[in-house]
Amino acid sequence: MLQRSYPSFRSTLEEHGLVRVAGAHHALSGVLAQEAGFQAVWSSSFEVSASRCLPDASILSMTEYLEAAANIQKALDIPVVADCDTGYGGNYNVAHMVHEFEGAGITAVCMEDKLFPKMNSFAAGDQTLLDTLAFTRKIEVAKNAQSSDEFFVIARTEALISGQDVDQAIARCKAYALAGADAVLIHSKKSTKDQVVEFLDRWDNRAPVVIVPTTYPDWHVDDIRKAGVSAVIYANQGMRAALTALRESYRTIYADGDTTSLEPRIASVRDIFDLQRMTDWQKLDAA
Ligand code: SPV
Ligand code: MG
């Protein structure tokens, strides 16, 4: 059976106390995350943009992000959470996004409360938020647009990213949960976890909480679980690791003039055949 079946993100969340999610930008990286044991894959707008050497600034179209997410999902037995930025525009864009992503088999999307076009959370540039009421409307539209009860909408606040405080982040997330968000995502660019811990302490389990510990890397998963987080997204470490490995390998080949010293350090062609499921494909055309 070459076509994959996979649980919804909602059922994965119900099954696990904490869902560990790895960022990916193509099917191969998603498959490696699954192989490592992650329970879900984040189709990252940062990684998908970077894979085209473009800034994560609402430059690619919804269709391009959808294609990336759907291609990852098709290769996995675990669900994809699609990073859908601001929902790609206004309320009708949000409805269209939900129709298209759900129709392509994606079971969870994440939408953030920045103005469209948005800029990546860690980049210098405009991090202005959409007003709370307008974003709650987007959440309601997303929930109205879904066709299955399984579909899961994560509302992400960029309050802390835009310089607001934890009070404001809580007020926004409360409104988002009331509007029907299935979970909230609290993002911080501080080098410590303090703001996120304060948020969790004061949140009172109104809805599941998702975090993205990129700038506070020293928070162990056991402690993240104890703090009451429902899903943790390692959004871009995979691509950063791949970048280091690719850069180092190309430089070595160029400098050495042959690949002898590199060979023991890189995956075999056989390894790639296995990830391509070459044997299963060959069986399809067996005499
Ligand atoms: C992404 O991976 O695209 C994210 C997380 O949205 S961040 O890059 O931190 O904004
Ligand atoms: Mg993103």
| Domains assigned to the chain | 9-238 (3.20.20.60), 245-285 (no CATH)
Q: Give the number of whichever ligand sits closest to the CA of residue 233.
A: 1
At residue 205, the pLDDT reads: 83
103 three-state secondary structure: helix
Ligand 1 pocket: which of 47, 86, 121 to mutate (most atoms within 8 A of CB): 121
For the chain, how big is the Rg over CA atoms in Å?
20
Task: State the pTM of this model.
Answer: 0.98
1 — pLDDT class (breaks 50, 70, 90): confident
Name the strand (E) or helix (H) holding 108: strand 108-112
Ligand 1 pocket: which of 45, 109, 188, 234 to mutate (most atoms within 8 A of CB): 45
Alpha-carbon distances, residue 232 vs 13, 52, 81, 184, 222 (angstroms): 11, 26, 12, 12, 11
Determine which residue's CA is closest to atom 7 belonging to ligand 1. Answer: 121
Other beta carbons within 10 angstroms of residue 225's beta carbon come to 15
How far does CA 285 lie from the centroid of its chain? 36
Say whether 274 is catalytic: no
At residue 273, the pLDDT reads: 98
Give the pair of three-digit tokens for residue 216: 């506070």
Q: Are 20 and 230 in contact (CB under 8 A)?
A: no
Residue type, position 96, single letter = H
Residues 189-234 have pLDDT tens digits of 999 999 999 999 999 888 999 999 999 999 999 999 999 999 999 9
Give the pair of three-digit tokens for residue 225: 């679980």
Residue 287 pLDDT exceeds 80: no
